Amino acid sequence: MNNKLKRNLIFCLLSFFILTILAVRANFKDEVREILYYGKEGALRGQIWYGNASWYGPHWHGRTTSSGETFNKNKLTAAHRTLPFNTMVKVTNLKNNKSVIVRVNDRGPFKAGRIIDLSEEAADKIDAKKQGISYVKVQVLNQ
């Protein structure tokens, strides 16, 4: 086999190999992005975090959430920075041990030191409205 033919063959094989790696990598990135955005069954179930929760309501009522839903302050929903949308979490106010189950449908909170933003109704259920910020336990139920 002459050198030119060998060079072309090596070039084709290397190109094929590189393109295969890039295709697999792109597919993997999409899968990771999908897990982070929408969730994958069993990925986070049982995880627990402790931290401050705040709540939001009247000002945001009727506006569009990050998930595309219309925010309703009277629904049991929450905003979390990283949990996939539709994740169900149990939030317990550690001051009075009252709990509520909420569905993540928004992104936030955007203030440092807070781990979850509750809808007004959810905050009301655990007596967290009056103080504005409450120390809570957040446990993932369905991921």
Structural domain includes residue 68: yes
Structural domain includes residue 53: yes
pLDDT category at 30 given cuts 50, 70, 90 is: low
Taking the model in full, what pTM does it have? Answer: 0.70
Please give, one letter per residue, the 3-state secondary structure of 67-134.
CCCECCCCCCEEECCCCCCCCEEEEEECCCCEEEEEEEEECCCCCCCEEEEEEHHHHHHCCCCCCCCE
Give the total number of structural domains in the chain.
2
User: What are the tens digits of pLDDT across the range 63-114?
Assistant: 999 999 999 999 999 999 999 999 999 999 999 999 999 999 999 999 999 9
Cα 17–chain centre separation: 35
Structural domain includes residue 43: no
> Does 60 score more than 90 pLDDT?
yes
Residues 8, 75: one domain?
A: no
Which has the higher per-residue pLDDT, 34 or 130? Answer: 130
Residues 91, 59: one domain?
A: yes
Residues 26, 94: one domain?
A: no
CATH assignment at residue 116: 2.40.40.10
Residues 30, 52: one domain?
A: no
- pLDDT (0 to 100) of residue 26: 56
- pLDDT (0 to 100) of residue 102: 98
- pLDDT (0 to 100) of residue 18: 74
Residues 65, 132: one domain?
A: yes
Residues 26, 71: one domain?
A: no
Residues 18, 60: one domain?
A: no
> Does 142 score more than 90 pLDDT?
no
Residues 52, 31: one domain?
A: no
Residues 106, 57: one domain?
A: yes
> Does 135 score more than 90 pLDDT?
yes
8 A C-beta contact, residue 138 and residue 54: no
Residues 28, 59: one domain?
A: no
Residues 60, 109: one domain?
A: yes
Instruction: Determine the structural domain holding residue 27 and report its residue range.
Output: 1-38
- Residue 7 corresponds to which tokens in the numbers above? 């060079």
Residues 56, 100: one domain?
A: yes
> Does 53 score more than 60 pLDDT?
yes
